A and B are shown apart, each in its own frame.
Chain A
Amino acid sequence: MIVPVLLLILLALSVAGFFLGRKKASAVAKSAGGRHKLHSRPNYYGIVTGLWCCLPAFFLFLLWLIFEQRIVTSLVIADLPPTLQQLPRERLVLIVQDIRNLATGNIVSGEITPEMRDAAAHFLELQDIGTMITSVLVLVVALAGILFFYRRITPELRARNQVEIVIKSLLIVCSTIAIFTTVGIVLSVLYEAIRFFRHVPVTDFLFGLEWSPQMAIREEQVGSSGAFGAVPVFAGTLLISAIAMMVAVPVGLLSAIFLSEYADKKIRAVVKPLLEILAGVPTVVYGFFAALVVAPSIRAVGSQIGLDVSSESALAAGLVMGIMIIPFVSSLSDDVINAVPQSLRDGAYSVGATRSETVKHVLIPAALPGIVGGILLAVSRAIGETMIVVMAAGLSANLTANPLQAVTTVTVQIVTLLVGDQEFDSPKTLAAFALGLVLFIGTLLLNIIALTVVRKYRERYE
């Protein structure tokens, strides 16, 4: 690979630039009458020289890495024989994909024609040329950078300030990554979702009562577009989340109250780590537990008392999801309850209230906004939880409120629609992004409300 070699050369050049710059700075200082004539310590001049060497070159290199595939691919397409170029877009995309696979030595899905073999060779050739050009460019830019700054070193030059400006800019770039992530999520999900809504009207998607996307799997069946009414999927998500909250909220809240108001140090020292372990168990483990232990037990109990319980019942998935969320609720509530000032407890105890009266009539009302915020965050988490439902909930979308039946959820559908072979333009695949959009917007709203409520609450007692 040429990439690491190039990066190593760049690094070496930068180090060389550092020493050159430092030496020049010392020399300049000597001729100006001593170290103290320099604005900054010689090291700073060296660092700036090094930065001038590596930063522009590195950005150039990064640009190439990002656009290499696209540039090369478009060049290859332009050079394809006309018979191939005139194919419909979808076919062309597949062929280009295969050419790329052929070039990188991956498994090819279709049959290989001589044209494609040629194209693959061409692809590799272009890639090599591109890399060559870039490498040379990068090195030239690096050397030019060193030269440029080296000649500008004077005692008055504020090297330290320049270093600090560069570092500060880097810090700013890093802190904006969160924004880029959000924008990236919104754009990517929205873009694909809009493409989906070109096939299926938004209203049909949001209010339709039937969900069976598998029917649209083959492209030839233009007429049978599958049913994309997502109401049963939303209903299933809410059903499972509701069951989860029914487990998690009382158990989590009461645990938090017990730990903060009743338990002594010893019990807290034992129970808190236990809850942390419960919180640290990966969701895939909970999913396995739900499918292996909980669902069969519920089914067995159901058949004992004469109930017909589905093996993928909403109850099993919801129950386990609730267990998963218990530590989340309890740690949030614990924080919130501890934030209630001791003076309120003192006030209640001083008029002779018992502990439970203090908790029920003073602490919980005082902490209510915070608790509600925490519960909203927990709901958002339940809605977005994936692995438990993928492993323990059903695939078919039933519109039912019966917790003993199988229902499906938004996340389950996203996973089933996107895992495995996908055709990127079929409504089936795009539907996953539409569901993803709904999921993102829904949880976003919950999160923002919850975080605002919690922040306001904290400010009140700070």
Chain B
Amino acid sequence: MSSQKEQRPVAGNRGYIRQKKERTIDIVSRRLAQRYRKEKRFKLYGLFSIILSTVFLAVLLTSIVSNGYSAFFQTYIKLDVTLESTMLDRENLGKSDFQGIIKQSITKLYPEVADRKSKRELYALFSSGAAFQLRETVMKNPGLVGKTIPYWVPADDDVDMLMKGHSKRGVPENERRLDDRQLGWIDKLVDQNRIEKKFNVTFFTAGDSREPELAGIWGAVKGSFFTLLVTLALSFPIGIAAAVYLEEFAPKNLATDFIEVNINNLAAVPSIVFGLLGLAVFLNFFGMPRSTSLVGGLVLMLMTLPTIIIASRAALKAVPPSIREAALGVGSSKMQMVSNHVLPLALPGMLTGTIIGMAQALGETAPLLMIGMVAFIVDIPGGFTDPAAVMPVQIYLWADSPERAFLERTSAAIMVLLAFLIMMNAVAVIMRRRFEKRW
């Protein structure tokens, strides 16, 4: 609308109101093309944003799946293990030298390797956990003593990476994890069909380990399970109770306003602050044990409580007042009205909110770092007071490890975590669809 444009011929618009020389339509039509160009551009921006978000999601998921799917398989090497009775004490199998037996079987494969340094290099191709696995097999089945059996042992992670093509043979020897001689030994195994990729059972059954080929996610899954159990057991009843009070009973006054502000604000407080609270109060003040599901669950409970309260209140709000009036009208007390009529109707909505809160808690990491759940824990937790890791923390720990094999396991662990999350959210969505009522 600048005044310079006044001289343009179109500026004859000036008098159009009085004289109406030109119809509105003619002036409008003249500018229409320009306006539609702007319209199109704006729409494209919007479309572009949507596509961008979708692309981000796609890149995120593909990079994780492409890095992680190979972790579900593990390279195994077949050894002919001779369980000589001379080396095994039938009375005390557990203490026998299985390490020695494994080494013997390896040397049998490569009789040409003699000196100590070479032998060490050779043994490095096999997982250090091989002996433990053999021990367990033999202890479960003592009848094997004295026999020679074909036995698949996990390969070391360097070999695993080579077989999966993650580390390349082409690079100069001094930049490789495996030297030329080791590659030769591997080739020999390949020639003899002694090397094979199998489904990685260890990944789903073991706890954490320093050795990638022995590390598994089961410990973290169980840790997450116990932690969430604590969270759920506390936050669901407390959350619903709080929502019921605030929505159905609370008088409208300063105190309840204050509670409301608090809840809404807590829902937006950074999660790490809850970790600081847990550290200062639960660990240092009450002296609860560090790194346990119990404390983790308590911290996550405080964190998810606002989410559950807000969702539950929304569910209660959605129950029409007519039902409350009907219940009160037949002479039931307010408590009976809530417990017999309002609560059952609001329960599906509350459950949905709780599941979403639990999914949030399952993915949460930061506050758990504060209460010491980052410890390296090999044992699989058996209860609420055992030291435990949870899945996201396990992911964080593995992501920090330098080995290439842990990168693949991190991605695989993420896939497992995402699978759980998608499952929970799907349940929430189905429940919402199922019970969604229009009043």
Residue numbers of A with Cβ under 8 A of B are 66, 69-70, 73, 100, 104, 160, 163-164, 167-168, 170-172, 174-179, 181-182, 184-185, 188-189, 191-192, 250-252, 254-255, 257-259, 261-263, 267, 271, 274-278, 280-289, 291-293, 323, 326-327, 330, 352, 354-357, 359-360, 377, 380-381, 383-387, 390-391, 411, 414-415, 418-419, 424, 432-433, 436, 439-440, 443-444, 447-448, 450-451
Known contacts: A257-B46, A288-B410, A292-B63. The answer to whether A176 contacts B279 by CB under 8 A is no
C-alpha gap A284/B224 in the complex (Å): 15
Q: Say yes or no: A284 contacts B365, CB within 8 Å.
A: yes
Within 8 Å of chain A (Cβ to Cβ): is B439?
no
Q: Which residues of B contact A277 (CB under 8 A)?
A: 57, 422, 425
C-alpha gap A73/B47 in the complex (Å): 65
C-alpha gap A174/B301 in the complex (Å): 13
Interface size class on chain B is 35 or more
C-alpha gap A163/B336 in the complex (Å): 11
Instruction: Name the residue on A nearest B363 (C-beta).
Output: A282
Q: Say yes or no: A188 contacts B277, CB within 8 Å.
A: yes
Q: Say yes or no: B414 contacts A181, CB within 8 Å.
A: no
Known contacts: A433-B276, A447-B269. The answer to whether A274 contacts B366 by CB under 8 A is no
Known contacts: A178-B309, A184-B277, A255-B53. The answer to whether A291 contacts B272 by CB under 8 A is no
Of B32-40, B133-141, B170-178, B185-193, the one touching chain A: B32-40
Within 8 Å of chain A (Cβ to Cβ): is B327?
no
Within 8 Å of chain A (Cβ to Cβ): is B259?
yes
Q: Say yes or no: B269 contacts A384, CB within 8 Å.
A: yes
Apart from A185-B277, A188-B276, A380-B270, 4 more pairs, CB < 8 Å: A278-B56, A292-B399, A354-B36, A448-B265
C-alpha gap A257/B279 in the complex (Å): 43
Instruction: Name the residue on A nearest B356 (C-beta).
Output: A280
Q: Which residues of A contact B64 (CB under 8 A)?
A: 285, 288-289
11 interchain pairs (CB within 8 A)? Answer: A69-B287, A171-B241, A176-B259, A178-B305, A259-B50, A288-B399, A387-B365, A387-B396, A390-B396, A436-B273, A436-B276
C-alpha gap A66/B305 in the complex (Å): 22
Within 8 Å of chain A (Cβ to Cβ): is B359?
yes
Q: Say yes or no: B265 contacts A175, CB within 8 Å.
A: no
Within 8 Å of chain A (Cβ to Cβ): is B369?
yes
Nearest first, the 10 closest Cβ-Cβ pairs linking A and B are A384-B270, A258-B46, A282-B363, A188-B280, A171-B245, A386-B366, A174-B241, A356-B42, A175-B242, A254-B49
Q: Which residues of B contact A293 (CB under 8 A)?
A: 59, 63
Q: Which residues of B contact A387 (CB under 8 A)?
A: 365-366, 392, 396
Q: Which residues of B contact A418 (CB under 8 A)?
A: 276, 279, 369-370
Total of A-B residue pairs, C-beta within 8 Å: 269
Interface core residue of A192, A327, A436 (most chain B CB under 10 Å): A436
C-alpha gap A267/B43 in the complex (Å): 14
C-alpha gap A424/B276 in the complex (Å): 13
| Closest chain B CB from A406 CB (angstroms) | 17
Instruction: Name the residue on A nearest B32 (C-beta).
Output: A354
| Closest chain A CB from B360 CB (angstroms) | 8
C-alpha gap A69/B288 in the complex (Å): 9
Within 8 Å of chain A (Cβ to Cβ): is B233?
no
Instruction: Name the residue on A nearest B238 (C-beta).
Output: A174
Within 8 Å of chain A (Cβ to Cβ): is B205?
no
Q: Which residues of A contact B38 (CB under 8 A)?
A: 354, 356
Interface core residue of A327, A377, A390 (most chain B CB under 10 Å): A390
Q: Say yes or no: A178 contacts B46, CB within 8 Å.
A: no
Q: Say yes or no: B53 contacts A356, CB within 8 Å.
A: no
Q: Which residues of A contact B425 (CB under 8 A)?
A: 276-277, 280
Q: Which residues of A contact B243 (CB under 8 A)?
A: 175
Q: Say yes or no: B245 contacts A174, CB within 8 Å.
A: yes
Q: Which residues of B contact A267 (CB under 8 A)?
A: 50
Q: Say yes or no: B365 contacts A419, CB within 8 Å.
A: no
C-alpha gap A274/B61 in the complex (Å): 12
Q: Say yes or no: B249 contacts A171, CB within 8 Å.
A: yes
Within 8 Å of chain A (Cβ to Cβ): is B297?
no
C-alpha gap A188/B370 in the complex (Å): 14
Q: Say yes or no: A419 contacts B369, CB within 8 Å.
A: yes
| Closest chain A CB from B56 CB (angstroms) | 5
Q: Say yes or no: B335 contacts A164, CB within 8 Å.
A: yes
Q: Say yes or no: B35 contacts A288, CB within 8 Å.
A: no
Q: Say yes or no: B269 contacts A178, CB within 8 Å.
A: no
Q: Say yes or no: B265 contacts A177, CB within 8 Å.
A: no
Q: Say yes or no: B392 contacts A411, CB within 8 Å.
A: no
C-alpha gap A330/B52 in the complex (Å): 13
| Closest chain B CB from A168 CB (angstroms) | 6
Q: Which residues of B contact A359 (CB under 8 A)?
A: 42
Q: Say yes or no: B273 contacts A439, CB within 8 Å.
A: yes
| Closest chain B CB from A10 CB (angstroms) | 18
Q: Say yes or no: A354 contacts B39, CB within 8 Å.
A: yes
Within 8 Å of chain A (Cβ to Cβ): is B268?
yes
Q: Say yes or no: A424 contacts B284, CB within 8 Å.
A: yes
Within 8 Å of chain A (Cβ to Cβ): is B250?
yes
Which listed residue, A271, A289, A357, A415, touches B63 by the CB 8 Å rule?
A289
Q: Which residues of B contact A70 (CB under 8 A)?
A: 287
CB proximity to A under 8 Å, residues B339-390 = 359, 362-366, 369-370, 374
Instruction: Name the residue on B nearest A271 (C-beta).
Output: B50
Q: Which residues of A contact B42 (CB under 8 A)?
A: 355-356, 359-360
C-alpha gap A160/B339 in the complex (Å): 14
Q: Which residues of B contact A354 (CB under 8 A)?
A: 35-36, 38-39
C-alpha gap A189/B407 in the complex (Å): 36
C-alpha gap A451/B264 in the complex (Å): 8
Within 8 Å of chain A (Cβ to Cβ): is B67?
yes
